[in-house]
Amino acid sequence: MIMLNLYNCLNTYLVIGAMLFGFGIYGFVARRTIIGMLISSEMILAAASMNFMAFNRFLAPNPSIGKIFTLFIMAIAAAEAAIAIAIVIAVYRNYKSIDTEDLVDLHG
Amino acid sequence: MQPVICQPAANPSLFTAEGMVGLIFLFLIATVITGALIATMARRLIRAVAGLAVCFTGVAGIYYFLLSPFVAMMQMLIYVGAVSILIAFAIMLAEPEYKDPIGRKNPPLAGPLGFSVGALFFAAFTLLGLNTDWQVFPREGTGDMHHMGITLLTTHSMVFELISIVLLIAIIGALVVARRGRD
């Protein structure tokens, strides 16, 4: 049962991170609303954090730096989500829609 | 503890402790994939947020397997407990009317193009990760909470303070942006 030893391999975590990144890119391109794109961008950030944590566990000389970097990514992602949602609410108040197709017109 | 890239020689059976741990890890991978599928494929946004929460729960479990329970706890607190709820509030405040996907004005290539680009990135990063000869450095330090706190407040203290200022500015800016046009 080689499947049961996957958690000791670096490549497993790299493949999971790449998968999350691919899902995030797909959602970012294919979603029609701003909030959907925000959800996908959070998944892209989680993929980057996964890579940092994997290299921190298996390769890094100092096993704290990857964890600290992941915590910084979480803080920046929280700030980004707060600002993005404020912008979404302001846009919805002006345009009465958050569909990206409706936001290409400039209202003077 | 010397880091290991992979131990293909270790081959636990299902009925030992290591085998059960491997089974739990497979379950976590399935959780991450399911959550990501729901978050990208669901038509209604509130279901996409639920899928995001499921996906990040699985990611927190995988962080636990990467020998850092503290970061797993922070992932649950910040992402599942704060960011998902914030996005759910935004969906409640700015509810898009549910459009029938038949009459969509989107360019018809958006779905297949996005899928191909995502699959291309996935294949590229997977091949890059599997075909690189990673170099293992000798460990210095343990990486537990004590070591992490000392590193955070000595080596990275400048970044720590900057992060707090960035969060403050982000919150004030969010308040200003959401408040404008109210009155």
Percent of chain A with pLDDT over 70: 96
| Alpha helices, H only, B104-156 | 110-131, 145-154
Whether B129 sits inside 8 A of A94 (CB atoms) is no
Nearest to B40 among A38, A40, A46 (CB): A40
- A54 inside 8 A of chain B by CB: yes
- Identify whether the C-beta of residue A64 lies closer than 8 Å to the C-beta of residue B153: no
- A85 inside 8 A of chain B by CB: yes
Q: In chain B, what residues touch A1 (CB-CB under 8 Å)?
A: 11-14, 19, 22
Look at residues A51, A91, A50, A33 and name the one whose alpha carbon lies nearest to residue B40: A33
pLDDT(A30) > 70: yes
Whether B22 sits inside 8 A of A60 (CB atoms) is no
Rounded to an integer, the average pLDDT of A7-23 is 92
Q: How many angstroms away from the CA of A108 is the closest CA of chain B?
A: 15
Between residues A70 and B106, which one has the greater pLDDT? A70
What local confidence, expressed as pLDDT, does residue B97 receive?
Answer: 61
Q: In chain A, what residues touch B159 (CB-CB under 8 Å)?
A: 72
pLDDT(A18) > 70: yes
What local confidence, expressed as pLDDT, does residue B183 receive?
Answer: 58
Between residues A60 and B103, which one has the greater pLDDT? A60
- Identify whether the C-beta of residue A35 lies closer than 8 Å to the C-beta of residue B87: yes
Rounded to an integer, the average pLDDT of A71-82 is 94
Give pLDDT < 70 ranges for chain B.
Answer: 1-5, 7-11, 96-107, 181-183
Long-range interactions of A97-106: CB distance < 8 A, separation 24+: A97/B96, A98/A33, A98/A34, A98/A35, A98/B94, A98/B96, A99/A32, A99/A33, A99/B96, A99/B99, A100/A32, A100/A33, A100/A34, A100/A37, A101/A32, A101/B105, A101/B106, A103/A34
